[in-house]
Amino acid sequence: MKQSAPKPPEPPPASFDSLGLSEVMMKALESAGYEYPTPVQAGVIPRALAGVDVLGQARTGTGKTASFVIPILEGLQLKSDIHHPQALVMVPTRELAVQVRDEAIKLAAGRKVHCVAVYGGKPIREQIDKLKRGAQIVIGTPGRVLDHLARGTIDFSKLKFVVLDEADRMLDIGFRPDIERILRRCPDDRQTLLLSATVPPAIAKLAERYMRTPETLNFSPADISVDTIEQFYFTVDPQRKFELLLRLLVRERPKQGIIFCRTKRGTEKVFLRLQKKSKDPRIVAAIHGDMNQSARDRVMSAFRAGKIRFLVATDVIGRGIDVSSISHIINYDIPAFCDDYVHRVGRTGRMGREGVAYTFVAPDEGYELTRIEERINRLLKRDEIKDFDPHARERSGLPIGDRPVNLGPKGSDGAAGSGDPAATPPPPPTSLQRRPPKRYRKAL
Ligand code: AMP
């Protein structure tokens, strides 16, 4: 099928009222505390309610989940004789499955709707039982959905909606064959909604093959890293990264932050060292793909509840996870892909809040930094910590040593700066001053 020409998103209406939603929906929105639709919601909801297939280009943190959950809820047939799923939402990760399910449950307030998340790492039996009891909305990772299809424990004959959430990520992970297998098992007269941060040719092809004349709505800002996020980099030798991390945390006293590492091993290492250093080890946790699902769920809910302040993570949670109080992102390791940078940094500054991101750059990683700057079309500002020498060879600054440090938020546990090694005389200028890439130099 042919795709229609991209349409500019419609300007947001003054309120949810103008979207023609049901009373029960309006009440659910009110109890969720959603006063105004976000631009993505204002654009997608009316088109989806009109029955059109929509390809929405939107990042996480823009309210995209509700943009497909609301039309699904409004379109469900809540007859007691329909037990089979009417909506299937495919997502790339287990965490996102849980998050979308929770958002759907929240917005389904006042209706008898069952939402079930199906994903790997959890016993399939429990999910089978839940599906048997009847679920109108199923949210799942493609592998587990296929597993249920193969066992005959899920029936898509009554499916009215299919959503591909974070479609670009699903293709990156290699879910394409699974997704296609699933889509071929879905009724032809379904409505398909596809949400993706980017629309590379593979996504366009998928849309062309499995959607009915989709309308493309683009909500991605020209500058993909949102304006409210301040972005800095430090040049540092790899051996000095941990010391830099401690000093940065002491200087910044973040409300909540994620420290991104490239590998699972690296994540564990940084986590253990940080935990050892912290006066209150309970505020530090790690999350990565080697942890079992219930451990990951536990960490995520403690982080969401604000009990954990520092999450050391791999890119497994780099995308899709929404915790609005994250104030700081620290890229302990520069991400391998520019897109991962955008997704990591996008964890902060959610829903227009302020956020700050720091990236540690080893002397031989200047090229990676330049690529990121080109991708986001913006220069990262250089930062440095007082009295901290980023070189491994001579440790001129005061080492933090074995003392536990106060990593509490500003104003907590005595004066900010107690035991603050940053409160020492200014440093000699570092020789790692990096010249901006050529194409920006002209503009400076
Ligand atoms: P999402 O992009 O779907 O991950 O949503 C990001 C966050 O925004 C989630 O915590 C939602 O609960 C919240 N949210 C979604 N829509 C609205 C809205 N209209 N008003 C306020 N918050 C919203």
- CA–CA distance, 228 with 240 (Å, rounded to integer): 29
Q: Fold identical between 16-218 and 229-433? A: yes
The region, left, alpha or beta by phi > 0 then psi within -120 to 50, assigned to residue 152 is left
- DSSP H helices, 185-337, are 201-210, 241-252, 264-277, 293-304
Q: How far is the CA of 44 from the centre of ligand 1 (A)?
A: 14
The region, left, alpha or beta by phi > 0 then psi within -120 to 50, assigned to residue 11 is beta
Q: Considering the domain 229-433 in this protein, what is its CATH number?
A: 3.40.50.300
Residue 362 confidence class, pLDDT cut points 50, 70, 90: very high
Domain boundaries, the chain: 16-218, 229-433
Q: What is the pLDDT of residue 26?
A: 97
Most confident of 192-196, 212-216, 296-300, 322-326: 192-196
- CA–CA distance, 402 with 390 (Å, rounded to integer): 19
Residue 165 has pLDDT above 80, yes or no: yes
Q: Ligand 1 within 6 A of 67 CB?
A: no
Q: How far is the CA of 361 from the centre of ligand 1 (A)?
A: 33
Assess contact for 250 and 422: CB atoms under 8 A.
yes
Q: Who contacts 282 (Cβ-Cβ below 8 Å, separation ≥6)?
A: 307, 308
Pick the more confident residue, 398 or 269: 269
Pocket test for ligand 1, best of 19, 35, 38 (most atoms within 8 A of CB): 38
Query: Which residue is it, tokens 């020409």?
Result: 5
What percent of the chain has pLDDT above 90? 57
Q: Ligand 1 within 6 A of 66 CB?
A: yes
Residue 55 has pLDDT above 60, yes or no: yes
- CA–CA distance, 190 with 193 (Å, rounded to integer): 10
Average pLDDT of the segment spanning 270-293: 89
What is this structure's pTM?
0.60
- Mention the CATH class of domain 16-218: alpha beta
- CA–CA distance, 404 with 26 (Å, rounded to integer): 50
Residue 348 has pLDDT above 80, yes or no: no
Q: Of all protein residues, whose CA lies closest to atom 8 belonging to ligand 1?
A: 63
SS3 93: coil
